[in-house]
Amino acid sequence: MDPASFTREQLADCGAGHLFLPDSPRLPTGQMLMFDRVTHISAKGGAHGRGEIRAELDVRPDLWFFQCHFTGDPVMPGCLGLDALWQLVGFYLAWQRHPGRGRALGVDEVRFFGQVLPSARVASYRLDIRRVVTRRLIMAIADGEVLVDERPIYTAKGLRVGVFTDMGAFQETDT
């Protein structure tokens, strides 16, 4: 039985390719990993009954992005919250043992109506899986939400992440 939660150390193991299968999608490592723990993951439940993930980032004033975005007006870039949601969709596919390299494929709608400041305590991420496609393309589609200290600040609908065993489609070509 797979665990329903994961520590920062286990998430680092996922980034190194040691948590699931060797060819599973990997999380970013180091500072680009945008959450400290997965507090809950399930293949059932969520708003669509197809799975859910909950994760958290401990917000500290010394986080790297506060030092450079923006000088004198520190705030977590909205794109990093969005990236955290994509990371979690990819983690869900790895947790389900789908092989390949994960890539964000898009999002249908994003709304920002708050921000993460250095004074916050916790940024939380909630994902509800809408669908997992397991044909030639393996892809998960989810809706997500970012909260700061339990208050919603972003929503994202139609987050898409695919896993690919043949990365040829992503190679640069000379035109």
Task: Considering only the C-alpha atoms of the chain, give the largest distance between any 2 of them, rounded to a whole number of Å.
Answer: 49
The β-bridge partners of 154 are 112, 146
The first and second tokens of residue 33, run together, are: 């990993």
Instruction: For residue 115, report the phi and psi dihedrals to the nearest 5 degrees.
Output: -150, 160
Residue appearing with tokens 């609908």: 157
Determine the number of helices (DSSP H) and then strands (DSSP E) in the chain.
Answer: 2, 7
- The secondary structure of the chain in percent helix, strand, coil, rounded to multiples of 5, reads 20, 35, 45
Is 69 part of the annotated catalytic residue set? yes
**Annotated catalytic residue within 18, 40, 48, 69:** 69
Residue closest to 120 by CA, chosen among 40, 44, 61: 61
Active site residues: 69
